[in-house]
Structure 1
Amino acid sequence: MRDSQKAKRFVPVLGALAVALAVFISLKSRYGGGVPPTVIFVVMDTLRADRTSLCGYEHPITPKLEELVERGATFACNSHSPSTWTLPSHATFFTGLGPEDHQAGSGGNTKGMTWGSVTPLGPRLPTLAEEMAARGYQTLLLSGNPVVGERMGLTRGFDHAVVARSYPEMHDHRLADRLKLILQYLALDPDRPLFAFINIADPHAPWRGIPKGLGFLPARPPMMIDPGRARFESGEMGEEEAEAWLSHLSDVYDYSVLRADRSLTQVLEALEAEGWLDAEYRLVITSDHGEYLGEHRLVEHGRPYFYEPVTRVPLLYLSTEGEVRLPDDVPSIVVHSLARDGVLPEPLPSGLASVFRKGSERSSVAVPCSSSSAALWLRASKLVANRGEIVRFDLASDPTEEHPLPAGNHPAAAKLLEYCRALDRAYASRPVPDAELSEALSAQLKALGYLRDDDEPPPPQPSKPH
């Protein structure tokens, strides 16, 4: 009896030894006698490329990004996000696959409960965290965006996941403060490499006020997105009121980007203080989407439109392992390969973006992009597909996208329509969550401002912001 009990007690020990041996063999085979690099993957949520001083913006609001470039980081200012809102973009970052494969997202148009069920990232595909864990990494997720959480399937594979309950909870220094506590008290193994994913959510609404004395921005009160958004988009605002409201919006957004850049500085300092950047490391930085600030009479993000303000994002890579040259229009889906392997994928993925949405009475299963919308970037041109129709924007001659051109005969039109069919099939076959979970997901997104009860606005007209 005693021998049997002793044997049972040894089983967990043997299991732990087997895991440790497997980790050792994995690291040994990949890195020889060297130590694998620390991998830090940062999403600066809701960050437009054109509103960073890194990419030429007039206000000096991203000095840390510029400093990283001075230290040898390569960067792209014409990268594009894989979708227009948090869940599908992060699902792509974590799987290296588009919505046509991972199926995460929603079946909605823009807002309101016409969206249909929200589909989290399911267990079918391995995540970046799971792949890194299989290579012996300790995995950590810290997110200031509540959507990047367990309910959405985005924490799978992380040993430790800490997610904000609301957007202001981890704004400013509070994100780095939480990271410091995690690094100090989680008893991470210094002999094992670390993979840390950080979501910095300061640029996401609601926005903090601007204090006096900043210099390049005036003092401003805090700003909520509603009810002004609905009044602006519907045309209810008069021209003078709209101009003042958009000026306020632009200023607090700029300040939020500056605060995100400061948060990035504090996050990297916290990691450095604990020794995680002392040896080899990789640092990957991008955004999940941008933000409309009045362009095309739209505000915020999450819409099934792919204008540059909501899709054009920065991408930056810094590694002690060597330089990786980034094409200026590299699609941001490559962050998966950069974080995992330290290289760009081969061949380089096409510049595609997409979003699911619930079909309307005008939709037909025979019409591509009936349950989705999609865009394809071809250097200075962009094709956009919606309910079987394709338009083209010449971004060189029409950077504000005010003059859509017919594109049915464009050589890439057939490719985009085929992609639309794949999206529609993915939407139709997506694993819809049960009623209880679907209600919980919708309630969470509604509380965070993604789902609203107001009516759908008409499709936007290509027009300049006020």
Structure 2
Amino acid sequence: MTDLRLRLALPAALLAAALTAACAGPAAPERPNLVFVVLDNVRSDRLSLCGYERPTSPFLVQLCGREGSRCTCDAQAPSSWTLPAHASYFTGAEVPQHGAGKGGDDEGNVRLGPGTHARPLDDALPTLAETLGERGYQTVLVSGNPLVSPASGLTRGFTTVRHASFFGEFSGPGLPQALEDALESVEPPSESAAPLFLFVNIANAHRPWPGVPERVDWLPPRLMLSFPQKAGRPNPQRRSFITGTMDPDEAAELVAHLGDVYDFSVRSADRTLRLVLRTLREGGWIGGERPFRVVVTSDHGEHLGERGLMGHADPYLYEELTRVPLAVYGSAPIPELPRQIAALASYDLLLDGRPRRRPVRALAFASDTWPRWYRPGLGSRPGAAIWNGSEKFVSHDGEILRYDLAEDPGELAPERWTEEETVAELEALLAALEASASGEPPSPEMLELLRSLGYL
């Protein structure tokens, strides 16, 4: 690890030290069971919890209506795809501090699946599971997303691991069954038993999306939609849409089809969340004698045709890709959540039931595939976004843009922004992001800027 990466890792190490202190004090019965659920690929604006007109999240509505629960629809994910977002959630570090998720065939990157190579989570950064395990927690991971695996480094510290080998394997009853199997490997709940830290990734809303059956009364019947890729080449249908060569009527129908199967899959994820929490309650892990705390969020959203984009894992940090839900409830009162919050606060909520004051921002590496698959330059620059109330500042294809989300929630009227302090902060974030993955140190001037802004 370069000197810069060691410097960037310092905040994560400090957070881990805080975690150690937090877990060291109370007697064993006072340590709560901790449950962390990521609703993979779920964006806030497609949840009925957040005002969407379709009934996509009835259980989340019920969960957030419980006395003592705290929920917001305005959390911002730390990045645009699974690996960097989960790495942040598991370490408490922002993307430039851990560097995980830089795509391509660079030295140090690993194969995570067909056509997917990326930098794994650095072994030097302690994870939440490792620290809790050292403090006597039983640590269990169940993931419907195959990228949450030993290869990515995300399972480090979990003593029991069940992860899908392909997307869709743990859809339907698959994930609740995998959870039941995993819990059989740990000591059952009792006053003298070790506490549990459980992580669950529910990937029902991730591509491939199953079709909508005729019995569903709030959606039209739809066929499965998956955009399959062969031999590392782009899917022709998706490529035609993103490049703008698709017939307009066909494109409109594809967007409608995509929206329907996505909404149906979000409803499926909501149903699976209900089954997961029911399993835990019936097993005595939550709602029993031991205190407990449950945190639910998402790792990122999904472009569903807006602005000619489809998918995720790109550097275009629009609200449909970054704005996610955040919910927390437990046996003890939870403080009110700020209306706008970094979803990375999940880390803090798990530790002590209250969020730290964190800057609200997201970062995404440049895409290694989009410029080759769709058109030169598309997604070829990294992205960064900073939120300040209704103001959002974004580095977009090398330009600094400002959005007023109160007046322009669809982000259709950007203003080019030149104010020096904001431009400097975004440039510092991008420099730290690139340095964390490349190993190439930034200039002395940029190092000084990073230091002045508190990133070193």
TM-score, with structure 2 as normaliser: 0.81
Query: Which residue, out of 388, 392, 411, partners 1:378?
Result: 388
The answer on 1:52 being equivalent to 2:54 is no
The answer on 1:301 being equivalent to 2:312 is yes
The answer on 1:262 being equivalent to 2:271 is yes
In the TM superposition, residue 413 of structure 1 has moved relative to its aligned partner by: 2.5
**Aligned equivalent of 1:420:** 430
Distance of aligned partners of 1:198 and 1:185 in 2 relative to their CA distance in 1, 3 Å threshold: same
Letter in 1 for 2:148: V
1:207-232 Cα distance to aligned partner (Å, 9 max, x none): 01111122111111111124421121
Letter in 1 for 2:437: Y
1:78-118 Cα distance to aligned partner (Å, 9 max, x none): 11110000000000000111111111011469xxx9x9962
Letter in 2 for 1:329: Q
Q: Is the 8 A contact 2:381 2:398 kept in 1?
A: no
Q: Is the 8 A contact 1:49 1:313 kept in 2?
A: yes
In the TM superposition, residue 127 of structure 1 has moved relative to its aligned partner by: 0.3
SS of match in other structure, 2:25: helix
Q: How far, CA to CA, are the matches of 1:133 and 1:75 in structure 2? A: 28
Letter in 2 for 1:317: V
Distance of aligned partners of 1:224 and 1:358 in 2 relative to their CA distance in 1, 3 Å threshold: closer
TM alignment of 1:196-211, pairs within 5 A? 196-211=198-213
The answer on 1:155 being equivalent to 2:151 is no
**Aligned equivalent of 1:247:** 256
Q: How far, CA to CA, are the matches of 1:291 and 1:359 in structure 2? A: 18
**Aligned equivalent of 1:338:** 349
1:360-412 Cα distance to aligned partner (Å, 9 max, x none): 9x9xxxxxx99632111112111112565311111122211122211111642
Q: How far, CA to CA, are the matches of 2:175 and 2:415 in structure 1? A: 45
The answer on 1:400 being equivalent to 2:410 is yes
Distance of aligned partners of 1:28 and 1:313 in 2 relative to their CA distance in 1, 3 Å threshold: closer
The answer on 1:91 being equivalent to 2:102 is no
Q: How far, CA to CA, are the matches of 1:381 and 1:128 in structure 2? A: 32
Q: Is the 8 A contact 2:342 2:360 kept in 1?
A: yes
Q: Is the 8 A contact 1:371 1:427 kept in 2?
A: no
1:273-303 Cα distance to aligned partner (Å, 9 max, x none): 2110113110000000000000010011111
In the TM superposition, residue 28 of structure 1 has moved relative to its aligned partner by: 9.4
Letter in 2 for 1:52: L
1:121-150 Cα distance to aligned partner (Å, 9 max, x none): 011111010121122110000000000110
Letter in 2 for 1:206: P
Distance of aligned partners of 1:117 and 1:220 in 2 relative to their CA distance in 1, 3 Å threshold: closer
Q: Is the 8 A contact 2:101 2:119 kept in 1?
A: yes
Q: How far, CA to CA, are the matches of 1:273 and 1:282 in structure 2? A: 16
Distance of aligned partners of 1:204 and 1:415 in 2 relative to their CA distance in 1, 3 Å threshold: same
Q: How far, CA to CA, are the matches of 1:230 and 1:241 in structure 2? A: 13
The answer on 1:39 being equivalent to 2:39 is no
Residue ranges of structure 2 left out of the alignment (5+ in a row)? 1-19, 106-112, 228-234, 372-378, 442-456
- The Cα RMSD (Å) is 2.7
Q: Greater Rg, structure 1 or structure 2?
A: 1
Distance of aligned partners of 1:267 and 1:428 in 2 relative to their CA distance in 1, 3 Å threshold: same
The answer on 1:389 being equivalent to 2:399 is yes
In the TM superposition, residue 187 of structure 1 has moved relative to its aligned partner by: 4.7
Distance of aligned partners of 1:117 and 1:199 in 2 relative to their CA distance in 1, 3 Å threshold: closer
Number of matched pairs: 394
**Percent identity between the two aligned chains:** 40
Q: How far, CA to CA, are the matches of 1:219 and 1:387 in structure 2? A: 38
**Aligned equivalent of 1:223:** 225
**Aligned equivalent of 2:281:** 272
Q: Is the 8 A contact 1:139 1:195 kept in 2?
A: yes
TM alignment of 1:49-88, pairs within 5 A? 49-72=44-67, 73-88=69-84
SS of match in other structure, 1:31: coil
SS of match in other structure, 1:246: helix
Q: How far, CA to CA, are the matches of 2:116 and 2:279 in structure 1? A: 41
SS of match in other structure, 1:43: strand
TM-score, with structure 1 as normaliser: 0.80
Q: Is the 8 A contact 1:108 1:356 kept in 2?
A: no
SS of match in other structure, 2:358: coil
Q: Is the 8 A contact 1:138 1:188 kept in 2?
A: no
Q: Is the 8 A contact 2:84 2:95 kept in 1?
A: yes
**Aligned equivalent of 1:136:** 136
Distance of aligned partners of 1:188 and 1:378 in 2 relative to their CA distance in 1, 3 Å threshold: same
Query: Which residue, out of 321, 328, 346, partners 2:339?
Result: 328
Q: Is the 8 A contact 2:100 2:437 kept in 1?
A: no
Q: Which moved more, 1:47-56 or 1:72-81?
A: 72-81
SS of match in other structure, 2:284: coil
Q: Is the 8 A contact 2:224 2:261 kept in 1?
A: yes
Q: Is the 8 A contact 2:315 2:381 kept in 1?
A: no
Q: Is the 8 A contact 1:107 1:427 kept in 2?
A: no
**Aligned equivalent of 2:327:** 316
Distance of aligned partners of 1:350 and 1:33 in 2 relative to their CA distance in 1, 3 Å threshold: closer
Q: How far, CA to CA, are the matches of 1:426 and 1:44 in structure 2? A: 27
SS of match in other structure, 2:151: coil
Q: How far, CA to CA, are the matches of 2:202 and 2:116 in structure 1? A: 28
Q: Is the 8 A contact 2:161 2:182 kept in 1?
A: no
Q: Is the 8 A contact 1:370 1:424 kept in 2?
A: no
